[in-house]
A and B are shown apart, each in its own frame.
Chain A
């Protein structure tokens, strides 16, 4: 591997209400080796420059969703974004927009998690289960493929202007979860779940802005799921 290094400036949002009610940006200068991700850099800054810098991280392989944050104006996972691909020599890091900030890059996701619970987020069946698996064809399974791959990082909901103005809005992540069950051939609560999302704070608050499509680090297109749900809701109402 090429070990040539380059200096980058990191402009990082700071907020710690224990110390000051005011937020600020701190600037750090860092040598960035080839292949280093934004998360690698945050860790390096925390290890050697400022131990008080707070952020969430865990798997560092883009599956746990802990390190979703706003990087150069776009929501993404810090762990899977190589600094050298960002363009420019300054990297600006903010917490996910739209959520209350607890400290630095750590946001309060309580309401986000609660929103998932409003769409009956588990498989519902009243028919008896067979002794074996419930049959499902590969084509039926494919219909929910992108939805089951969601990592609940919050990037989509955080990017949605409709959510910024009304946090009662279910928003893309919870609607994608609704889609995951409504379009699962094994589920038997399609009607009930559609009623839950067919609401002014549900599907219809989506204004097709499509920020969620750009924001999703796993390229899952929650906007398409919402569009499919709108069609189902209309079908049910006629």
Chain B
């Protein structure tokens, strides 16, 4: 079955739904999403969304911009950052007018807290459920505007013909039927890929499907080596503990009870950017100063007092009890760094249009926004609270640009056989005989990525990881499904997700091998210094006949020249 909409949006997190609310204005619009909209992973964001509202002391957009550019280790494109921070205050007001229940100051204004790498109190929040309340509010707005959703549809391929995007092919997970979605504009808002790693804050659904679909279609992916590890995940699960905890004043302590951040970031302490803090924690653990010599340190909330903890961090209090059996009012929480966010992704221009090469050639009809996109506002390290902001600002922008572009995009032809080709591929996967277990391949991939391509990287382990991925890709061709059914075949979904993981993890590792410097979250122990002379540039990886091919493009620097980064 082929569905026809002017705009087809993939993903119903903050970026996708915000885009839909704009795009609906100029024609028919639908949103495909692999989980029901309110189950999207945006809802797991806890601490806040950044904007220089100035509700808690003076602030302005240039300060927000400088903090973001410095945080990115100067790899962010500054024209894109400028748009992000300039539009931030009105974006927040707009969300509030939609009904987002932000926490409030005594004066009745939106409350703001401190966050890592931000020099002002800039994080607008709703206790520690900020992503959740924004996600649900945007869903409510989509209901108000009668946006058409296709929930539990897994997108499997991009339909490109003559270099022009025509739509996507997707599987209805509940029925197993394959559908074509023919659109004049297609917006990717498919989120991140934390599931490439064993220890992650991300949902099971965060398997980077959108990135691999773009890559398989022959388009490039940008800065894939830049992976953020959040400093504070619960031990052992990796589930997120918001940076807002430290924003409220929590301490990080090693086995000696020492606030060791004073040795790594004396000015910012616990509120250094995430790359710096995650490396500090990992260093303490690696040097035997984890708690009892183990693989975790402590996050101590106790001195904040019961009232503040219950009011500002209720979710953390609940999760700590459920996932670590610790009462955070009475004892410190065991934490470890956890794979959290993809700074890289589908390259776009500042209008959200996907670009197909280092020269910036636009792929007509194709747009991307949110975590799956790389515009790039985060460079090599994202500051906390800037991701929700990016999702909403650039989601809305992509939707508006679609409205501007649609009058100039003609309906072309739906390529014959696009749906049938994918049907055949899926059938072959289901019917394939073999002796390999998908769970075993996935476990080995996640464990080896954690070990060889984590916070600290170097040539030897990265090369080993490439060999491992090659072997796993080979084994994948013999992975067998036990579920041969059509209806709600979740094993089929898992193997399709694993196929995505095996595609893009190779790009992360190859990108990390190539980038012989340390910048932001990408840290090479064999090249511990930033090297602006050679590496102040974005990487682009695309599929070649013999595997990935790399190209590079310059960073757009407007206001702030790179200088040494100290905290």
Contacts and interface: CB of A to CB of B under 8 A. Distances in A.
Contact of B96 (A117, A134, A145, A152): A134
A131 B96 CA distance: 11
A132 B127 CA distance: 21
B488 A1 contact: no
Nearest to A80: B322
B93 interface: yes
5 contacts: A59-B204, A63-B44, A64-B40, A64-B43, A80-B319
Interface in B146-204: 174, 201, 203-204
Given A18-B485, A52-B485, A122-B140, A151 B38 contact: yes
B143 A121 contact: yes
A134 B44 contact: no
A144 B99 CA distance: 12
A47 interface: yes
Interface stretch (B100-108, B254-262, B516-524): B100-108
Interface stretch (A86-94, A102-110, A207-215): A102-110
A164 interface: no
B289 interface: no
A136 B108 contact: yes
Q: Please provide the 4 A-B residue pairs with the shortest distance between their CB atoms, ordered closest to farther.
A: A123-B99, A47-B439, A51-B482, A135-B108
Contacts of B109: 132-133, 135
A70 interface: no
A55 B490 contact: yes
Scoring B103, B201, B236 by chain A CB atoms within 10 A of each residue's CB, the highest score goes to B103
A151 B35 CA distance: 14
B416 interface: no
B130 to A, nearest CB: 11
Contacts of B133: 148
B129 interface: yes
Scoring B129, B203, B236 by chain A CB atoms within 10 A of each residue's CB, the highest score goes to B203
Given A58-B39, A58-B203, A102-B174, A133 B110 contact: yes
Contacts of B437: 47-48
B22 interface: no
Given A60-B239, A129-B97, A151 B318 contact: no
A144 B103 CA distance: 11
A22 interface: no
A54 B101 contact: no
A26 B515 CA distance: 51
A103 B104 contact: no
Interface residues of A, number: 61
A58 B35 contact: yes
Interface string A24-35: 000000000001
A113 B139 CA distance: 11
A121 B140 contact: yes
Contacts of B92: 133
B398 interface: no
Interface string B301-342: 000000000000001001100110100000000000000000
B519 to A, nearest CB: 30
A102 B488 contact: yes
B204 A133 contact: no
B403 interface: no
B483 interface: yes
Contacts of A17: 487
Interface string A121-156: 111000001011111111011001100111110000
A190 interface: no
B99 A103 contact: no
A120 to B, nearest CB: 9
Given A1-B236, A62-B318, A57 B38 contact: no
A148 B44 contact: no
Contacts of A237: none
A80 B143 CA distance: 29
B143 A117 contact: yes
A52 B482 contact: yes
A50 B99 contact: no
A58 B104 contact: no
Given A64-B203, A141-B101, A184-B101, A151 B132 contact: yes
